[in-house]
Homo-oligomer: A and B are copies of this chain.
Amino acid sequence: MAYLRNTWYVAGWSNEIGEGLFSRTILGESIVFFRDKEKNGQIIAARNLCPHRFAPLDRGHLIDGTLECAYHGLRFNTQGKCVFNPDGDGRVPAGTKLTIFPVVERWKAAWIWMGDPSKADASLIPDYPFLDTPEWHPVRGLLKVRANYRYITDNLLDIAHVRMVHTTSGIYCESLSKGKTELIREPNGAIWANRLGVNGAPPPLFAVMWQAAGFGELPTHMDHWADARWDAPSLILNHVGITVTGQPREAGLEAKNTHFLTPETETTTHYFWTNCRAFALDDTHLDQAILSGTEHLFVDEDEPMLHAVQAAMGDRDFWAMKPALLQADIGPVAARRALDKLIADEQREAPIPTKASMTEAAVT
């Protein structure tokens, strides 16, 4: 199925892109990244394919701020213009141009726009202020998932799988399981799928955070909420918290977790995750516990199931398979339909260019 193109995808965490060349496949296309030293390290993203003879540019080097191809030594500036040819008289056809993709660095991540560059608007990136403020402390990670990004979106918006899949990670909560998912649609298209578990035993995993937050022992009766916001194309924000039964949420503890899903291919996904807290900011032991706990939860519990679904489905279409949908699917279904519509609208306006015709270089 087509990808939404006029949108922002996370291409990498800011700290992944350093002094040299960095490449990653996004929406099936290899992209090469580097920082422009002349402009305070602004991130440049280019198609990883020389417009001359199609060598991957990540085999090359940065020379005086230009990207040099390792095959024939053509050099491209940060606007994609070919500014040097070492061979012969050094001439280059006027239109020789490397495709450059808009990139914005925000929330400690590099966001790439792989659609119509004239529509790239940084203000369309959703707000995740807790990812870049002294009051909050995020633990970050990146995982590869062997499944289409939409199955992962489904999974993240669906509380019902926790009981079965997360049997060893301490995040299951019986009262939440008995709750009902509420759907809230925001005017900007964001969709919330929220659940509240009232007056039950909180998920055991919260004990460590409750203690680190200075609250002491975990109470036996609490309210537990798990709210998930979806923003197109595949950005999920979780508000997950606990408070003593009947107390306001502010009196308890809440983690803000993000899940940014970037398709690598139709069947593999780059999964950028954070777990953010506003307490115990300097607690490196807690950082480590969150990191290993989260990786266990994703790598050992979610990922094998998501991969099994992907393998079982193959290239069959989700809707054509007529899924039997439950109350807990209200979030995944709303997000799927919203994304389906965005993609259909975009395709109607301007069909997605094929890889071939996206090369902007001139022919001599």
Chain A residues within CB distance 8 Å of chain B: 30, 48-49, 51-56, 59, 69-73, 82, 85-89, 91-93, 95-97, 154, 158-161, 163-165, 177-181, 305, 308-309, 311-313, 316-318, 320-329, 355-357, 359, 361-364
Taking CB atoms, residues of chain B closer than 8 Å to A317 are 356
Instruction: Report yes or no: A323 in contact with B363, Cβ–Cβ below 8 A.
Output: yes
Taking CB atoms, residues of chain B closer than 8 Å to A86 are 163-164, 177
List 7 A-B pairs, minimum CB-CB distance, nearest first: A96-B324, A87-B160, A324-B361, A320-B356, A325-B364, A73-B164, A51-B324
Query: Beyond A309-B55, A321-B356, is A165–B71 a contact (Cβ under 8 Å)?
Result: yes
Instruction: Report yes or no: B324 in contact with A180, Cβ–Cβ below 8 A.
Output: no
Instruction: Report yes or no: B363 in contact with A322, Cβ–Cβ below 8 A.
Output: yes
Distance in Å from the Cβ of A224 to the closest Cβ of chain B?
Answer: 15
Distance in Å from the Cβ of A61 to the closest Cβ of chain B?
Answer: 10
A122 CA / B351 CA spacing, docked (Å): 51
**Which of A59, A73, A323, A359: most chain B CB closer than 10 A?**
A323
Contact of A364 among B88, B179, B180, B324 (CB under 8 A): B324
Instruction: Report yes or no: B54 in contact with A312, Cβ–Cβ below 8 A.
Output: yes
Instruction: Report yes or no: A324 in contact with B92, Cβ–Cβ below 8 A.
Output: yes
Query: Beyond A55-B308, A59-B305, A71-B165, is A89–B327 a contact (Cβ under 8 Å)?
Result: yes
Q: How many copies does the complex hold?
A: 3
A229 CA / B158 CA spacing, docked (Å): 55
Taking CB atoms, residues of chain B closer than 8 Å to A326 are 52, 72, 85, 87-88, 91-93, 364
Instruction: Report yes or no: A54 in contact with B313, Cβ–Cβ below 8 A.
Output: yes
Instruction: Report yes or no: B305 in contact with A89, Cβ–Cβ below 8 A.
Output: no
A69 CA / B324 CA spacing, docked (Å): 13
Given A70-B305, A88-B179, output 16 extra A-B contacts at Cβ < 8 Å. A49-B312, A54-B321, A56-B311, A56-B312, A86-B177, A87-B160, A88-B160, A88-B181, A92-B326, A95-B324, A316-B356, A317-B356, A321-B359, A322-B359, A323-B363, A325-B363
Distance in Å from the Cβ of A303 to the closest Cβ of chain B?
Answer: 13
A324 CA / B95 CA spacing, docked (Å): 8
Instruction: Report yes or no: B51 in contact with A328, Cβ–Cβ below 8 A.
Output: no
